[in-house]
Amino acid sequence: MSANPPRRRPWWLGLAVIAIGAVWLQQGYALPKSGGYAGVGPGDFVMLVGAALIVLGLALLAQIARGDSFEPQEAESAEAGARPSRKALLFAAAGAAIPLLTMRPLGFPLTAMLAFALVTRAFGSRRVLFDCAVGLALGIICWLGFTRLGVTLGGALPLAGW
Protein backbone atom coordinates (compact mmCIF):
# COMPACT_ATOMS: atom_id res chain seq x y z
CA MET A 1 0.00 0.00 0.00
CA SER A 2 1.40 3.41 -0.93
CA ALA A 3 1.85 6.15 1.62
CA ASN A 4 0.53 8.89 -0.68
CA PRO A 5 -3.12 8.68 -1.72
CA PRO A 6 -3.72 9.22 -5.44
CA ARG A 7 -4.31 12.85 -6.36
CA ARG A 8 -7.66 13.79 -7.76
CA ARG A 9 -7.48 15.03 -11.30
CA PRO A 10 -9.52 18.09 -12.30
CA TRP A 11 -11.22 16.58 -15.37
CA TRP A 12 -14.05 19.06 -14.95
CA LEU A 13 -11.72 21.93 -15.84
CA GLY A 14 -10.91 20.64 -19.33
CA LEU A 15 -14.52 19.67 -19.92
CA ALA A 16 -15.69 23.13 -18.84
CA VAL A 17 -13.32 24.83 -21.31
CA ILE A 18 -14.61 22.56 -24.09
CA ALA A 19 -18.23 23.32 -23.13
CA ILE A 20 -17.57 27.07 -23.19
CA GLY A 21 -15.93 26.68 -26.61
CA ALA A 22 -18.96 24.76 -27.87
CA VAL A 23 -21.27 27.56 -26.70
CA TRP A 24 -19.09 30.11 -28.52
CA LEU A 25 -19.20 27.99 -31.69
CA GLN A 26 -22.96 27.62 -31.48
CA GLN A 27 -23.50 31.33 -30.89
CA GLY A 28 -20.98 32.30 -33.58
CA TYR A 29 -22.82 30.12 -36.07
CA ALA A 30 -25.96 32.22 -35.47
CA LEU A 31 -24.13 35.50 -36.25
CA PRO A 32 -23.53 36.86 -39.78
CA LYS A 33 -20.52 35.26 -41.48
CA SER A 34 -19.57 38.13 -43.78
CA GLY A 35 -19.59 41.81 -43.24
CA GLY A 36 -18.69 44.92 -45.18
CA TYR A 37 -15.64 45.25 -47.34
CA ALA A 38 -13.43 43.05 -45.18
CA GLY A 39 -15.40 39.90 -45.92
CA VAL A 40 -15.01 38.79 -42.31
CA GLY A 41 -18.08 38.97 -40.16
CA PRO A 42 -18.59 38.90 -36.41
CA GLY A 43 -19.59 35.25 -36.54
CA ASP A 44 -16.20 34.29 -37.95
CA PHE A 45 -14.30 35.74 -35.00
CA VAL A 46 -16.64 34.20 -32.43
CA MET A 47 -16.36 30.81 -34.12
CA LEU A 48 -12.54 31.12 -34.20
CA VAL A 49 -12.50 31.80 -30.45
CA GLY A 50 -14.85 28.86 -29.85
CA ALA A 51 -12.65 26.51 -31.88
CA ALA A 52 -9.55 27.74 -30.03
CA LEU A 53 -11.25 27.11 -26.68
CA ILE A 54 -12.12 23.57 -27.72
CA VAL A 55 -8.52 22.90 -28.79
CA LEU A 56 -7.21 24.35 -25.52
CA GLY A 57 -9.72 22.27 -23.55
CA LEU A 58 -8.52 19.12 -25.32
CA ALA A 59 -4.89 20.06 -24.60
CA LEU A 60 -5.80 20.60 -20.96
CA LEU A 61 -7.47 17.17 -20.81
CA ALA A 62 -4.31 15.64 -22.30
CA GLN A 63 -2.21 17.31 -19.58
CA ILE A 64 -4.58 16.06 -16.91
CA ALA A 65 -4.45 12.53 -18.35
CA ARG A 66 -0.63 12.63 -18.22
CA GLY A 67 -0.84 13.57 -14.56
CA ASP A 68 0.74 17.01 -14.91
CA SER A 69 0.40 19.06 -11.75
CA PHE A 70 -1.01 22.55 -11.79
CA GLU A 71 1.05 24.16 -9.06
CA PRO A 72 2.12 27.81 -9.18
CA GLN A 73 5.56 28.27 -10.66
CA GLU A 74 8.22 30.41 -9.02
CA ALA A 75 7.98 33.06 -11.74
CA GLU A 76 4.28 33.56 -11.02
CA SER A 77 5.00 34.89 -7.52
CA ALA A 78 1.85 33.20 -6.29
CA GLU A 79 1.37 31.81 -2.83
CA ALA A 80 0.63 28.11 -3.19
CA GLY A 81 -1.34 27.94 0.05
CA ALA A 82 -3.34 31.13 -0.42
CA ARG A 83 -7.10 30.78 -0.51
CA PRO A 84 -8.97 32.20 -3.49
CA SER A 85 -10.47 35.62 -2.97
CA ARG A 86 -14.25 35.53 -3.34
CA LYS A 87 -14.31 39.31 -3.23
CA ALA A 88 -11.93 39.55 -6.22
CA LEU A 89 -13.98 36.97 -8.11
CA LEU A 90 -17.17 38.93 -7.50
CA PHE A 91 -15.58 42.19 -8.69
CA ALA A 92 -14.28 40.49 -11.85
CA ALA A 93 -17.66 38.85 -12.51
CA ALA A 94 -19.40 42.19 -12.03
CA GLY A 95 -16.95 43.78 -14.47
CA ALA A 96 -17.80 41.14 -17.06
CA ALA A 97 -21.56 41.37 -16.46
CA ILE A 98 -21.95 45.15 -16.23
CA PRO A 99 -22.16 45.67 -20.03
CA LEU A 100 -25.30 43.54 -20.11
CA LEU A 101 -27.05 46.02 -17.85
CA THR A 102 -25.57 49.38 -18.78
CA MET A 103 -24.66 49.40 -22.50
CA ARG A 104 -27.99 50.77 -23.73
CA PRO A 105 -28.75 53.31 -21.01
CA LEU A 106 -25.19 54.57 -20.42
CA GLY A 107 -23.46 53.97 -23.76
CA PHE A 108 -20.15 52.34 -24.61
CA PRO A 109 -17.66 54.75 -22.96
CA LEU A 110 -19.32 54.81 -19.53
CA THR A 111 -19.91 51.06 -19.63
CA ALA A 112 -16.24 50.51 -20.49
CA MET A 113 -15.28 52.78 -17.60
CA LEU A 114 -17.37 50.79 -15.11
CA ALA A 115 -16.16 47.41 -16.38
CA PHE A 116 -12.52 48.55 -16.33
CA ALA A 117 -12.78 49.95 -12.80
CA LEU A 118 -14.41 46.76 -11.47
CA VAL A 119 -11.81 44.47 -13.05
CA THR A 120 -8.89 46.59 -11.83
CA ARG A 121 -10.44 46.45 -8.36
CA ALA A 122 -10.53 42.66 -8.67
CA PHE A 123 -6.78 42.74 -9.34
CA GLY A 124 -6.20 44.80 -6.22
CA SER A 125 -6.24 48.41 -7.40
CA ARG A 126 -7.42 50.97 -4.85
CA ARG A 127 -7.25 54.01 -7.15
CA VAL A 128 -10.92 54.25 -8.12
CA LEU A 129 -10.83 57.71 -9.73
CA PHE A 130 -7.70 56.92 -11.74
CA ASP A 131 -9.14 53.58 -12.89
CA CYS A 132 -12.39 55.29 -13.91
CA ALA A 133 -10.47 57.94 -15.85
CA VAL A 134 -8.39 55.32 -17.69
CA GLY A 135 -11.47 53.21 -18.40
CA LEU A 136 -13.38 56.21 -19.72
CA ALA A 137 -10.46 57.26 -21.93
CA LEU A 138 -10.12 53.74 -23.35
CA GLY A 139 -13.89 53.55 -23.87
CA ILE A 140 -13.97 56.86 -25.76
CA ILE A 141 -10.97 55.88 -27.91
CA CYS A 142 -12.56 52.53 -28.78
CA TRP A 143 -15.94 54.12 -29.46
CA LEU A 144 -14.37 56.72 -31.77
CA GLY A 145 -12.29 54.08 -33.54
CA PHE A 146 -15.24 51.80 -34.17
CA THR A 147 -17.41 54.73 -35.25
CA ARG A 148 -14.81 55.76 -37.83
CA LEU A 149 -14.76 52.20 -39.15
CA GLY A 150 -18.52 52.39 -39.56
CA VAL A 151 -19.36 50.02 -36.72
CA THR A 152 -22.30 51.29 -34.69
CA LEU A 153 -21.90 50.89 -30.95
CA GLY A 154 -24.81 53.16 -30.17
CA GLY A 155 -24.51 56.68 -28.87
CA ALA A 156 -21.50 57.74 -26.85
CA LEU A 157 -23.78 58.92 -24.05
CA PRO A 158 -27.36 57.88 -24.89
CA LEU A 159 -28.83 59.62 -21.83
CA ALA A 160 -27.33 62.92 -22.99
CA GLY A 161 -28.53 62.39 -26.57
CA TRP A 162 -25.04 61.99 -28.09
3-state secondary structure of 51: helix
Q: What is the pLDDT of residues 107-116, one digit of tens each?
A: 899 999 999 9
Query: From the CB of residue 137, how many other CB atoms can be counted at a distance below 10 Å?
Result: 14
Cα–Cα distance for residue pair 105/103, rounded to 1 Å:
6
Q: What is the pLDDT of residue 54?
A: 97
Q: What is the pLDDT of residues 33-55, one digit of tens each?
A: 766 666 677 788 889 999 999 99
pLDDT in tens, the chain (162 residues): 455 555 678 888 899 999 999 999 998 888 777 666 666 777 888 899 999 999 999 999 999 999 887 766 665 566 667 788 899 999 999 999 998 888 888 889 999 999 999 999 999 999 999 999 999 999 999 988 888 877 777 777 776 555
